[in-house]
Amino acid sequence: MPLKLKDIAKALGLSVTTISKVINNYPDISQTTKKKVLEYVKQNKYKPNLQASFLRTNESKLVGIILPSLNHYFFNSVLEGLVDNAMKNNYMVIVLQSNEKYKKEKKLVEQLLNLNVDGIFITVSQETRNFDHLFEIQKNNKTLILFDKIEKSINCSKVIINDKQAAFIATEHLIKRGCKKILHFRGGLLPQISIDRFLGYRSALEHYKIPYDPKRVFICENGNDDEGYLNAKKVIEEGIEFDGLFAISDLIALGAIRYFNKKNISIPDQVAVVGFSNWKVSKLTTPTLTTINQPGKLMGEKMFDLFLKGFKANKNKEKINFETIIIPSNLIVRNSS
Amino acid sequence: MPLKLKDIAKALGLSVTTISKVINNYPDISQTTKKKVLEYVKQNKYKPNLQASFLRTNESKLVGIILPSLNHYFFNSVLEGLVDNAMKNNYMVIVLQSNEKYKKEKKLVEQLLNLNVDGIFITVSQETRNFDHLFEIQKNNKTLILFDKIEKSINCSKVIINDKQAAFIATEHLIKRGCKKILHFRGGLLPQISIDRFLGYRSALEHYKIPYDPKRVFICENGNDDEGYLNAKKVIEEGIEFDGLFAISDLIALGAIRYFNKKNISIPDQVAVVGFSNWKVSKLTTPTLTTINQPGKLMGEKMFDLFLKGFKANKNKEKINFETIIIPSNLIVRNSS
DNA sequence: CTGAAAGCGCTTACAG
DNA sequence: CTGAAAGCGCTTACAG
């Protein structure tokens, strides 16, 4: 049986109230008592029962994160940063995956609220168009942090990657290398990250006075490597000229490379390729892949910082200043360009 | 404010006790009352307060999993299976990473116990030699499930991969392909998985009457791809003859392939290569990698099944039959062999 | 079949 | 500075 306040009170000849006050650092306690209690607590490794505390304080010391997938290099690095930072602050993290489904995402939010987590971190799913379930989080007086795929209309703190700028840098790199006919394998038409990366590509072309040709842009809806492969095939079959490729993800880039390799189109001489994400494997492929590094771990850490800030302000009924943190990304040049 | 039992009782003109009994499916309730209450509960989406329930029942509906890393293909697929199965059963999963450190692992176990999780899933860290913290879980009357890197001396349910058999199959494949001088890049001398895979390699050689030569075995202590690269280099420099390579992981295999590619040693003609894990990327490399597929997701699902079984038995004070489930793995043949 | 009451382990407004 | 008492939202032994 774990130690309870009652046990400590009995052992020290004090009241439960006094012990609780010492532990919660109330000011109206004599130094002698304080010392005595803290010593006993330390010696006997007393830990408050979190569920019992919750019943009075409404703080569960739990946070939840909803990811599209629990097995995805970038999201897992976000998770790492979040969990490490949470641990430092005595919080635990509950993980869930939405599989990019709106219905599942909605259900998971409900379940997290039912568990009385103090905060929820979420990157909205591909399918999500209705955001009532996210507003519900705030109505329940819990702290909501959006990251990566965010929804601008929601008033909360956010952490994002500057996708447009990163895509600009990637495209700029190809241009500086001498490429003039740069393909872009983009994502679907709706996701913000897909739009932003496309805009970064376009604005780099514009900045360097290279004409934009919509025929060089291909859509990869699902994000698997076969789409990269098939679009590369299409490019060749349609006789489109090219000397560079900026792909929305490493996976798409690798799919395209697979096709180029097959057709003996030499990389980077005939086509220079840049991916996006710095997936662990991108330094292991043949050729190794030039890519944009997104510091997911840093993102996860910042997310928890913002949660703590918001949670504390909320607790003290202070006005909350919502912030949007933009995480910088950087180009890693390897053999594919 | 969420609905409470009291609110329902007032609304229906019944007592809190009766409402609670209906919700917890007690038998001594009239059909009429039961129907009335359940209807109201459904209509108004009543959800019991989990922390309050815990205070009486000692069931938190939380489980925790400690992984060496939160960003590792195999462990993340285990996590996926575990989380999905947990959700189906109305449990939430708390994730933590030990970074292969004994001290951290011990601390994390303490924190999970302090949070009163119902069960803990753990694959022990590389460093762990003392298992008191695991026994502590059982002393606290919580359900412990070991997986992957297990400790045989602990009496609990376990889920493992049959590493020896999988390594046998991998090596056998090389032999059947005609290889006679098969290298093995193994892991450290201590981890059970490293030992088991080595033993599988040896027993396949023995079974097919190929002499075992210790000079063909190299140790990769940390598991990063550079070790594969450097050991491949060593093989060449030391003038050791070879026509096949069985590596303890895909990453090690890819490191070796990187060196072979550099030296224009053709794969699979001059050396056939087999990895281990079926890491997502192994079908994207050049050449694509033959490997052993470990069904991590299935492993995660089984782990939760075993937890539920053990937890229920424990709750009903029944005798627990600890089980060890062995997950079969299979060979995936690709272009590297 | 129904319900009043005690209690799980805490926190906190209040009295002294 | 200390502590008695109420109460957070539930469950359950017990009485009727």
pLDDT digits (tens, 9 = 90+) for A222-263: 888 899 999 999 999 999 999 999 999 999 999 999 999 989
Tell me the CA–C1' distance in angstroms for A23 and D2.
15
Proximity of residue B56 CB to strand C below 7 A: yes
Strands (E), B68-137: 92-97, 119-122
**Average pLDDT for residues A167-190, to the nearest whole number?**
96
Q: What pLDDT shows up at residue B247?
A: 98
Whether B25 has its CB under 8 Å from any CB of chain A: the answer is: no
Q: Which of B97, B114, B281 sits opposite A83 (nearest CB)?
A: B97
Tell me the CA–C1' distance in angstroms for B38 and C7.
27
Tell me the CA–C1' distance in angstroms for B17 and C3.
7
Q: What pLDDT shows up at residue B1?
A: 74
Q: What pLDDT shows up at residue B279?
A: 86
Strand order of the sheet with strand A157-161?
A324-327, A157-161, A143-147, A119-122, A62-67, A92-97, B92-97, B62-67, B119-122, B143-147, B157-161, B324-327
Judge contact between A267 and A253, C-beta under 8 A: no
Short-list B87, B136, B92, CA closest to B110: B136
- Give B141's DSSP letter: T
pLDDT tens, position by position, A88-106: 999 999 999 999 999 999 9
Contacts of B50 in chain A (CB under 8 A): 51, 114-116
pLDDT surpassing 90 at residue A319: no
| Subunit contact A92:B111, Cβ cutoff 8 A | yes
Q: List the domain boundaries for chain B.
A: 5-48, 57-161+296-328, 163-293
The two structure tokens encoding residue B143: 């359900």
Q: At A266, give phi and psi (nearest 5°).
A: -80, 140
Q: What pLDDT shows up at residue A273?
A: 98
Q: What pLDDT shows up at residue B334?
A: 96
Proximity of residue A24 CB to strand C below 7 A: yes
pLDDT surpassing 90 at residue A28: no
Q: In residues, how long is chain B?
A: 337
CATH class of A163-293: alpha beta
Angle B20-B21-B22 from CA coordinates, rounded to 5°: 90
At A69, the pLDDT band (50, 70, 90 cuts) reads: very high
C-alpha B262: how far from chain center:
35
Q: What pLDDT shows up at residue A27?
A: 86
Architecture of domain B57-161+296-328: 3-Layer(aba) Sandwich (3.40)
Short-list A288, A210, A223, CA closest to A252: A223
pLDDT tens, position by position, B45-86: 999 999 999 999 999 999 999 999 999 889 999 999 999 999
Query: How far apart are the C-alpha atoms of B191 and A22, rounded to whole Å?
Result: 46
Q: Which of A117, A284, A288, A301 to mutate: most B Cβ within 10 Å? A: A284
Q: Which of B252, B281, B294 to mutate: most A Cβ within 10 Å? A: B281
Residue for token pair 């690798």: A254
pLDDT surpassing 90 at residue A282: no
- Give B70's DSSP letter: S
Query: How far apart are the C-alpha atoms of A151 and A251, rounded to whole Å?
Result: 25
Q: Which of B47, B83, B281 sits opposite A96 (nearest CB)?
A: B83
- 3-class SS of residue A62: strand
**Average pLDDT for residues A124-153, to the nearest whole number?**
93
Distance from CA of A206 to the nearest CA of B (A): 34
Whether A266 has its CB under 8 Å from any CB of chain B: the answer is: no
Chain C, protein-covered positions (CB within 7 A): 1-5, 7-13
State which protein residues have CB closer than 7 Å to strand D: A 13-18, 21, 28-33, 52, 55-56; B 1-6, 16-17, 20-21, 23-24, 48-49, 52-53, 55-57
Architecture of domain A57-161+296-327: 3-Layer(aba) Sandwich (3.40)
Domain B5-48: assigned CATH number: 1.10.260.40
Closest-CA residue of A relative to B112 is A92
Tell me the CA–C1' distance in angstroms for B267 and D13.
74
Q: What pLDDT shows up at residue B317?
A: 80
For residue A185, list its beta bridge partners: A218, A247
pLDDT surpassing 90 at residue A283: no
Q: Which of A49, A83, A258 sits opposite B70 (nearest CB)?
A: A83
Q: Which of B92, B98, B116, B121 to mutate: most A Cβ within 10 Å? A: B92
Q: Please give the mean pLDDT across all residues of chain A.
A: 94
Low-confidence ranges of chain B (pLDDT < 50): none
CB neighbours of A88 closer than 8 A, spacing ≥ 6?
none
Q: Residues 298 to 337 of B: which have CB under 8 A from any A CB?
A: none
Judge contact between B66 and B98, C-beta under 8 A: yes
Please name the nucleotide lying closest to B16, CA to C1': C3
- If DSSP states are collapsed to H, E and C, what string results for A227-251? HHHHHHHHHHHCCCCCCEEEECCHH
| Subunit contact A95:B83, Cβ cutoff 8 A | yes
pLDDT tens, position by position, B180-228: 999 999 999 988 889 999 999 999 999 999 999 999 999 999 888 899 9
Q: What pLDDT shows up at residue A126?
A: 85
Whether B93 has its CB under 8 Å from any CB of chain A: the answer is: yes
Closest-CA residue of B relative to A74 is B71
| Subunit contact B96:A83, Cβ cutoff 8 A | yes
Q: Do domains B57-161+296-328 and B163-293 have the same CATH topology?
A: yes
Q: Which of B55, B93, B255 sits opposite A52 (nearest CB)?
A: B55
Q: What pLDDT shows up at residue B198?
A: 98
Proximity of residue A4 CB to strand C below 7 A: yes
Q: Which amino acid is at A63?
A: V
